[in-house]
């Protein structure tokens, strides 16, 4: 359990945003306990029956805020995705995209990719989450499983620097090809220029307070 003070982790800055008094507790979540509720138990049971390597491939199963998330080892991602897509009792036919997340405090697991999935057949939604270290930011591409992942993986690469191995054309999609760094990482400088106003100087945003 850890505690963060202020919306941006700032202290002693005279922050007038209204968030400086915010105190938030953050806890690392282990696997949720059974029963998960709703169809979540059926999804976990059906995947475990269809995929014998379940216990060696799924790091944890978390139910939080009405969502089921399977934390998958990155080297097993494609195997798990194929079972979720093709197993008749699961049939997650649609990949709804890829979201990148940067957790600098998770040493060795700083970069995460999150895949929301939809089963039209069974009217169910789940999420896959995969982690990789900044020192080795490689995750297998799921374009061959869900073609809809193509541009989303490119955007996640562009913004977070996650390299999706096997992607058919992993290039930047938002920033210029020669852009330095990955703008949505939490350690990326905010940029901006100092502003002069009636003899006073307002520093660039990245120099005004401590962002996390």
Contact 84, 57 (CB under 8 A): no
Per cent of the chain over pLDDT 90 is: 72
- CATH number for the domain running over 31-181: 3.30.460.80
SS3 content of the chain, % helix, strand, coil (to 5): 20, 25, 55
- Position 174 confidence tier, pLDDT thresholds 50, 70, 90: very high
- Count CB neighbours of 202 within 10 A: 13
* Res 1: pLDDT: 54
> Between β-strands 67-72 and 58-64, what pairing exists: parallel, antiparallel or unpaired?
antiparallel
Give the number of other Cβ atoms within 10 Å of residue 155's Cβ.
19
pLDDT level of residue 189 (50, 70, 90 thresholds): confident
Q: What is the pLDDT of residue 57?
A: 97
The per-residue pLDDT for 15 is: 54
Cis peptide before 35 (omega within 30 of 0): yes
As a whole number, mean pLDDT of residues 93-114 equals 96
| Nearest alpha-carbon partner for 112 in 125, 127, 130, 94 | 130
139: left (phi over 0), alpha (psi -120 to 50) or beta: beta
Residue 30: pLDDT band with limits 50, 70, 90: confident
**Of 1, 6, 2, 9, which is closest to residue 23 (Cα–Cα)?**
6
pLDDT in tens, 124-166: 999 999 999 999 999 999 999 999 999 999 999 999 999 999 9
pLDDT at 16 exceeding the cut of 70: no
Please state the pTM of the whole predicted model: 0.80
Q: Residue 15 CB: number of other CB atoms within 10 A?
A: 16
Residue 88 — very low, low, confident or very high, per pLDDT cuts 50/70/90? Answer: very high
The total of other beta-carbon atoms located within 10 Å of residue 80's CB is 21
Any idea which residue has 């850890």 for tokens? 2
Check pLDDT > 80 for residue 209.
no
- Asked if 162 and 137 count as a contact pair (C-beta separation under 8 A), the reply is yes
DSSP-assigned letter for residue 114: E
Residue 48 has pLDDT above 90, yes or no: yes
* pLDDT recorded at residue 188: 85
């Amino acid at each position: 359990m850890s505690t963060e003070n202020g919306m941006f982790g700032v202290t002693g800055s005279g922050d007038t945003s209204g968030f400086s008094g915010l105190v938030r507790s953050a806890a690392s979540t282990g696997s949720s306990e059974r029963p998960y509720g709703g169809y979540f138990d059926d999804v976990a049971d059906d995947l475990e029956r269809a995929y014998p390597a379940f216990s060696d491939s799924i790091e944890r199963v978390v139910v939080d805020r009405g969502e089921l998330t399977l934390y998958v080892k990155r080297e097993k991602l494609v195997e798990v995705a194929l079972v979720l897509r093709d197993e008749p009792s699961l049939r997650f036919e649609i990949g709804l995209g890829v979201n990148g997340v940067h957790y600098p405090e998770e040493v060795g697991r700083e970069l995460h990719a999150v895949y929301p999935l939809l089963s039209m057949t069974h009217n169910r939604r789940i999420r896959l989450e995969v982690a990789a270290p900044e020192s080795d930011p490689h995750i297998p591409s799921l374009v061959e499983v869900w073609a809809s992942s193509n541009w989303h993986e490119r955007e996640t690469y562009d913004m977070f620097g996650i390299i999706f191995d096997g992607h058919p054309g992993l290039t930047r999609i938002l920033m210029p090809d020669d852009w330095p760094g990955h703008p949505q990482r939490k350690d990326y400088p905010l940029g901006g220029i100092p502003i002069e106003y009636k003899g006073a100087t307002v520093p660039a945003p990245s120099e005004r307070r401590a962002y996390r």
